[in-house]
A = this chain, B = another copy of it.
Amino acid sequence: MSEMTQIAATEARPYHHGDLSRALVEAARRILETEGPAALSLRAVAREAGVSPAAPYHHFKDKGELLDAVAHEGWHALDAALTEARSKSVDSKDRMTGLGVAYVRFARDNPALYRVMYDCSRDKDALPDQMKEEGAYCQVRNTIDERTGGTASPIDLELATIAAWCAGHGLAEMISFKQFAPLKEALGGEEAFLRGVFEHLGMFAKLDQA
């Protein structure tokens, strides 16, 4: 009996359905992966989770709040992807480029999730709050800080992080554009294309210092 309760607690089914909010977020991610962002309606999520269309309103204020929860998971996943990329490149020389490549790859491999993440951010005109103190954004900043040996001023460090983040985001949103296909092929694949673009980001700085 107490074992049953234990199992129930582990599975966290507090009431009728059992941790519906978690089930809804999982259903949403399932829909995102299989049918894309356009199919992600609140009703479809409820359907996928096997509950009525009104059920989600006992766990989320509105559709936006459910998407926020999905986006939150997305940021954690991105964080994990960047952590792995950072740990893999022992050579600090191309650690920044490797980080950029990992970022864009995450977006390319999870396009629907990435879209939800940024749509939520735009609705609030802000990145997730936690990112400034920890998480993906912080990893980029730390990597830059390491690379410069901690010599950069706080303002320069912040500017450089923002610059890197913007470049990564821009490339992430355009990597799949058809116009770039010939160039990708000419360079021998997407990886080379990605590195090529990142290495050309110096053009502003390089040119204006010449």
Contact = CB atoms under 8 A, between A and B. Distances in A.
Nearest to A131: B179
Nearest to A171: B166
B158 A183 contact: yes
Nearest to A164: B203
A134 B78 CA distance: 36
B183 A173 contact: no
Contacts of A160: 200, 203
A200 B159 contact: yes
Among A131, A165, A207, max chain B CB count under 10 A is at A207
A122 interface: yes
Contact of A167 (B93, B126, B159, B201): B201
A187 interface: yes
B204 A203 contact: no
A121 B174 CA distance: 9
Contacts of A97: 204, 208
A30 B96 CA distance: 43
Interface in A121-159: 121-122, 124-127, 131-132, 144, 147-148, 155-156, 158-159
B203 A208 contact: no
Given A167-B170, A200-B159, A126 B96 contact: no
Contacts of A144: 203
Given A163-B198, A197-B163, A198-B163, A100 B204 contact: yes
14 contacts: A93-B208, A96-B204, A96-B208, A132-B179, A159-B197, A162-B183, A162-B197, A165-B174, A169-B169, A170-B173, A201-B201, A201-B204, A202-B206, A206-B206
